[in-house]
């Protein structure tokens, strides 16, 4: 299997499966001497980990699987500093219930990668999806925490949040409220309505999707490589590499298709000898290069495919597919939005760090 590494200078390689002994990440290219706070790596993992909720606020949206997600630092950090050598981090699995998946050995779950993995490789880890499991993102979050420490030196700050979930959208954006509710939404009132709707989905054995918005402040003009390695192209690749993400838009996004050029263009004026943009329909990126504005993008998160309703699917016996019905068991999220927020931040920080070092 190829494609387990991202980055040109700041290179991140993840490994492991959802129901194996553990998973982890190797980070190559972290500059020697970078201050590394191991507690910040653990704090990042705690925000993503299953069963944790948001600041102790439990949600109907999250799985009951409860993993400590303890980061074990194997190499690359000495006395709180990056050595410049590969940083290896391992996260052990301790709460996997593989028996919940015994009925999936030859039956394929709708909405999952079971069928495509089987067709491509001829073998698959049906216990929780193996490499295709959302649990793989824990390794990305650990790497993202290291990347964030590099970006902090440049005063670059990434903030993601649930803009919409279960069909309910935020009416305001208040960063202070993001960690005050179970959905990581910047609007406590909207979050309460989201929670009610998600609980309704849960009681019906169904699931919900949503939209995550991400804003990056402090990015200087000049990040990004024109043509194939455009900053927005790299961010899009990173976001779409997250299994649950099915779409991305920058700035005005798809609504730009209904605007005129005179409205969509971000006009400029000079202020104290510097260029200032009047609007930010481009989302902070022009020609694949950051323009100094805030980087703004949104990703669409699909509904969790593991639902507790009977579904039509296929099973395979002796290489022949037959129609069947499947009732999924186990512990699953109902809406991924609150747990995917730290993943979006981590992938953004990984891309920006790599671009920063390439500059």
φ/ψ of 111, rounded to 5, equals 85, -5
Q: pLDDT grade, residue 123 (50/70/90)?
A: confident
Per-residue pLDDT, 318: 86
Q: How far is residue 166's CA from residue 161's CA, in Å, rounded to a whole number?
A: 14
pLDDT at 238 over 70: yes
pLDDT at 98 over 60: no
Beta strands in the chain (DSSP E): 5-6, 11-16, 22-28, 71-75, 77-78, 81-82, 87-92, 157-165, 168-169, 210-217, 245-250, 268-271, 274-277, 285-286, 289-290, 295-301, 311-317, 320-326
Task: Name which of 48-62, 101-115, 134-148, 339-353 the model is least confident about.
Answer: 48-62
Max alpha carbon distance in the chain (Å)?
74
d(CA 182, CA 173): 16
Is the confidence at residue 52, as pLDDT, over 70?
Answer: no
Please tell me whether 331 is known to bind a ligand: yes
How far apart CA 192 and CA 186 sit, in angstroms, is 11
Asked if residue 149 has pLDDT above 70, the reply is yes
End-to-end CA distance of the chain: 30
pLDDT of residue 131: 87
Q: How much of the chain exceeds pLDDT 70, in percent?
A: 95
Asked if the model's pLDDT at residue 101 lies above 70, the reply is: no
The answer to whether 92 is annotated as binding is: no
Residue-level pLDDT at 129: 80
Contact (CB, 8 A) for 349 and 148: yes
- Say whether 287 counts as a known binding-site residue: yes
User: Is 70 known as a binding-site position?
Assistant: no
Domain boundaries, the chain: 5-358
Residue whose pair of structure tokens reads 């390695």 in the numeric block: 229
Range in 17-26, 122-131, 308-317 with the lowest mean pLDDT: 122-131
Q: Is a pLDDT exceeding 90 seen at residue 91?
A: yes
Q: Measured between alpha carbons, how far is 258 from 342 in angstroms, rounded to an integer?
A: 32
pLDDT score for 265 = 98
Q: Is 25 annotated as a binding residue?
A: no
Would you say 351 is a known binding-site residue? no
- Average pLDDT on 275-296 reads 97
Q: Is 298 labelled a binding residue? A: no
CATH 3.30.450.20 holds for 5-358: no
Q: For the chain, give the number of residues.
A: 359
**Residue 59 annotated as lining a ligand binding site:** no
The answer to whether 256 is a known ligand-binding residue is no
């Amino acid at each position: 299997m190829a494609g387990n590494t991202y980055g040109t200078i700041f290179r991140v390689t993840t490994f492991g499966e959802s129901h194996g002994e553990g998973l982890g990440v190797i980070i190559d290219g972290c500059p020697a001497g970078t201050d590394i706070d191991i507690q910040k790596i653990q704090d990042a993992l705690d925000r993503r980990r299953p069963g944790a909720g948001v600041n102790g606020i439990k949600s109907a949206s999250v799985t009951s699987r409860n993993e400590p997600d303890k980061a074990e630092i194997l190499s690359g950090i000495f006395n709180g500093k990056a050595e410049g050598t590969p940083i290896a981090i391992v996260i052990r699995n301790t709460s996997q219930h593989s028996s919940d998946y015994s009925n999936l050995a030859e039956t394929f779950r709708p909405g999952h990668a079971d069928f495509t993995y089987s067709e491509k490789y001829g073998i698959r880890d049906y216990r929780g999806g193996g490499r295709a499991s959302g649990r793989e993102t824990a390794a990305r979050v650990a790497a993202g925490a290291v990347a964030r420490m590099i970006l902090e030196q440049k005063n670059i700050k990434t903030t993601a949040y649930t803009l919409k979930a279960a069909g309910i959208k935020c009416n305001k954006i208040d960063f202070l409220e993001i960690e005050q509710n179970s959905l990581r939404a910047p609007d406590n009132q909207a979050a309460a309505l989201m929670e009610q709707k998600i609980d309704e989905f849960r009681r019906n054995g169904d699931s919900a999707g949503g939209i995550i918005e991400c804003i990056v402040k402090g990015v200087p003009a000049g990040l990004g490589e024109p043509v194939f390695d455009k900053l927005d192209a790299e961010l899009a690749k990173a976001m779409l590499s997250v299994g649950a993400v099915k779409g991305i838009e920058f700035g005005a996004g798809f609504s730009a298709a209904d605007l005129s050029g005179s409205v969509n263009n971000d006009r400029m004026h000079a202020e104290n000898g510097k260029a200032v943009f009047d609007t930010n329909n481009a989302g902070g990126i022009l020609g694949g290069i950051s323009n100094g504005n805030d980087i703004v993008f949104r990703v669409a998160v699909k509904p969790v495919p593991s639902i507790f309703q009977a579904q039509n699917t296929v099973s395979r016996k002796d290489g022949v597919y037959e129609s069947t019905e499947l009732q999924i068991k186990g512990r699953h999220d109902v809406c991924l939005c609150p747990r995917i927020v730290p993943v979006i931040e981590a992938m953004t920080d990984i891309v920006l760090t790599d671009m920063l070092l390439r500059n």
